[in-house]
């Protein structure tokens, strides 16, 4: 992956991942006996999408506003779309847990709203990325893509459409909501996606010595080993649930 396309490819990879989560989530059919217990595929979609939106707020929007022509107008357009998507995600969660306020909506209507708002969101994200790539030096584009990924790991797991998204108020709100979301995820036993870690190479001779972990495979090529951690975690309160 070349540096100049790092940001677009990072976004494209994330959008494909979330589209896959959405496809899995929309096959779930709610049942009255499971009301208020949640559904893992829907949880994973909601949390993954929310974390991505919060990371865009924290990393890309300040760069767009300060470095791009008409950046403030572009940020306003983005926030209009993002808040609409966050409202829809909040409806999905309420529908998942059987809220009485959602009884007049069916799942087909809910998922249709998700499709519409996600498509608008992805379009403007790619538009912002294209403008940033045209404005920034190559090394800054690569750094921006890396910061987007690392920030997403620590982002809140729920949508918060009515809280500040930008500036100092936005940073404070995200910090507070990250703690609150983590608490409620554990209380409700929601499934939360973990960031997929990069594959690690086997340690060299010096690394084996320092780790006291010798490998007796001289003459064989140094293969990569995947991280065996799952791409999601189950809160402890969920362990004993049926």
Q: What is the pLDDT along the chain (242 residues), one digit of tens a residue?
A: 445 689 999 999 999 999 999 999 988 765 544 445 568 899 999 999 999 999 999 999 999 999 988 899 999 999 999 999 999 999 888 887 766 566 666 788 889 999 999 999 999 999 999 999 998 998 999 999 999 999 999 999 999 999 999 999 999 999 999 999 999 998 888 888 775 554 545 556 665 555 555 655 544 444 444 444 445 555 544 444 44
DSSP string, the chain: --GGGHHHHHHHHHHHHHHHHHHHHTT----GGGTTS--HHHHHHHHHHHHHHHHIIIIIHHHHHHHSTTHHHHHHHHHHHHHHHHHHHHHHHHHHTT-GGGTT--HHHHHHHHHHHHHHHHHHHHHHHHHHHHHS-HHHHHHHHHHHHHHHHTS-SS--TTS--SHHHHHHHHHHHHHHHHHHHHHHT--EEPPPPPPEEPP-HHHHHHHT-----TTS---EE---S-SEE--GGGTT--
pTM: 0.77
């Amino acid at each position: 992956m070349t540096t100049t396309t790092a940001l677009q490819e990072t976004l494209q990879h994330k959008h494909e991942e979330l589209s896959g989560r959405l496809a899995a989530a929309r096959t779930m059919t709610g049942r009255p006996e499971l009301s208020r217990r949640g559904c893992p595929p829907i949880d994973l979609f909601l949390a993954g999408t929310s974390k991505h939106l919060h990371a865009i707020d924290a990393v890309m929007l300040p760069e767009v506003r300060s470095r791009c022509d008409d950046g403030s107008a572009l940020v306003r357009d983005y926030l209009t779309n993002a808040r609409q998507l966050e409202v829809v995600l909040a409806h999905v969660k309420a529908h998942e847990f059987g809220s009485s306020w959602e009884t007049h909506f069916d799942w087909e209507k809910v998922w249709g709203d998700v499709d519409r708002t996600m498509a608008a969101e992805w379009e403007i994200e790619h538009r912002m990325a294209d403008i940033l790539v045209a404005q920034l030096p190559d090394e800054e584009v690569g750094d921006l893509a890396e910061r987007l990924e690392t920030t997403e790991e620590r982002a809140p797991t729920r949508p918060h459409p009515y809280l500040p998204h930008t500036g100092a108020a936005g940073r404070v709100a995200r910090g507070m909501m990250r703690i609150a979301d983590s608490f409620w995820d554990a209380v409700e036993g929601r499934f939360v996606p973990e960031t997929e870690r990069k594959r690690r190479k086997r340690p060299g001779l010096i690394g084996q010595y320092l780790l006291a972990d010798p490998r007796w495979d001289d003459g064989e090529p140094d293969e990569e080993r995947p991280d065996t951690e799952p791409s999601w975690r189950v809160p402890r309160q969920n362990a004993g649930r049926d």
